[in-house]
Amino acid sequence: MRRPERTRELVASAAVHVLRSADGIAAMFTLAWDDSTPDGYPPAARPARLSRLAVRPELLSTGSMAGVQCVRRAIELATARGADVLRAEANPDLAQTRALLGHLGFQQHGPVESDGDRRWVRLQRQL
């Protein structure tokens, strides 16, 4: 469930990044900083968090590289800003998204989690 107040905070802090195409927004992601180590993740000195990765639905069936471009850009930005790891959560039922993150170096930490409404896995990539 999205929290509008958190979305406003992320936009105001320039954490939201947009990939544009000739006909508008192709994809987006959020890159924020974690000050703590949530349960299920190994310790890190300066973790960054990739979240809200979204690709325009009609691009998903065309072989678009928008998702790959967003994740690579998040890795570049996090590295440039001194992060030692990049963390993300992914729905394990979205096999293509989970595979993409795996191919780009994200490793799963812990089992599949569930709160009854959604399922996720914790992922982390060393930078």
> Can you tell me which residue has the tokens 């544009």?
20
Q: Give me the domain span that covers residue 80.
A: 4-126
Q: Give the number of domains in the chain.
A: 1
Q: What distance in Å separates the CA atoms of residue 52 and residue 42, rounded to the nearest whole number?
A: 22
Q: What is the pLDDT averaged over residues 4-16?
A: 81
User: Is the pLDDT reported for residue 92 higher than 80?
Assistant: yes
> Tens digit of pLDDT for each residue in 32-47?
986 666 778 899 999 9
Q: How much of the chain, in percent, has pLDDT values that exceed 70? A: 95
Query: Which of 2-11, 59-68, 76-85 is the least confident region?
Result: 2-11
Half-sphere CA count of 89, side-chain side, radius 13 A: 13
CATH number at residue 30: 3.40.630.30
User: Is the pLDDT reported for residue 74 higher than 80?
Assistant: yes
Residue 35: the pLDDT is: 67
Half-sphere CA count of 61, side-chain side, radius 13 A: 2
Mean pLDDT estimate for the chain: 90
